[in-house]
Amino acid sequence: MLLPPDVSLVLASKSPRRSYLLEQAGIPFTIRTAEVEEVYPPETPVLEVAPYLARLKAEGARHLLRADNEVLLTADSVVILGDEILGKPRDRAHAIEILSRLSGNRHTVVTGCCLQSTRKQLVFSSTAYVYMNTVRPEEIVAYVDRYRPYDKAGAYAIQEWIGLAKIRRIEGTYPTIMGLPVDMVYERLLDF
């Protein structure tokens, strides 16, 4: 798109959803990844966990920058019900449990992002509220067995059946829920 010609974006993420969103927005990027353990201090307020983890990932992947014009993008998303973070499910039973808890309730999705160059770092986040209709137990089992959402925070993807058939309303942006607030990333890249 209309990024400054001297900016080269490096996405430090294996997430196919984040790549898809950048591609759909026409933002050119390359992918380079590093393994970073996603841990945060237990006293971290739930709304600050995603940006904390995005910064942690950027610091762990900073060595991937090869030129001064490169900007590293890292991101992390969390699903929050009440004041509890519902992470990625450990297994089938845990995925069913998580979705049973989300069924019929409003939950919060926070996606934190970090832009990192050799000279500066910018951390920001976007919040969305998701209103889920009631999902019957047999629907939850069928969803988990078909989509195997074990790599997804909250055990679902907004772009799959749950999002299409069982989300009645969102407040915030769809890309935030998918894992990358493209509007914010784009605007901050322009100013970076």
Q: Which residue has the higher pLDDT, 2 or 105?
A: 105
Q: What is the DSSP letter of 16?
A: H
Question: Would you state the pLDDT for residue 122?
Answer: 98
Whole-number average pLDDT of the chain = 96
Reported confidence tier of residue 1, pLDDT bands at 50, 70, 90: low
CA distance 98 to 12: 28
Which residues is 31 bridged to in the sheet?
11
Domain boundaries, the chain: 8-191
pLDDT 10s digits, 130-152: 999 999 999 999 999 999 999 99
Report the predicted TM-score, pTM, of the whole model to 2 decimal places.
Answer: 0.94
pLDDT 10s digits, 81-126: 999 999 999 999 999 999 999 999 999 999 999 999 999 999 999 9
CATH number for domain 8-191, candidates 3.90.950.10, 3.30.479.10, 3.30.43.10, 3.30.360.10: 3.90.950.10
pLDDT 10s digits, 17-28: 999 999 999 999
User: Which tokens is 41 given?
Assistant: 């201090």
CA distance 65 to 68: 8
DSSP symbols for 123-162: EEEEEEEEEEPP--HHHHHHHHHHH--TTSGGG--TTSHH
Q: Which of 6, 76, 145, 183 does the annotation list as catalytic?
A: 76
User: Which tokens is 28 given?
Assistant: 């050119």
Active site residue 76: yes
What are phi and psi for residue 173, nearest 5 degrees? -100, 145
3-class secondary-structure state, position 172:
coil
Buried b (16+ CB within 10 A) or exposed e, 116-144: bbeeeebbbbbbbebebeebeeebbeebb
Q: Which of 4, 140, 19, 156 is nearest to 88 (CA)?
A: 156
Amino acid at the residue 58? A
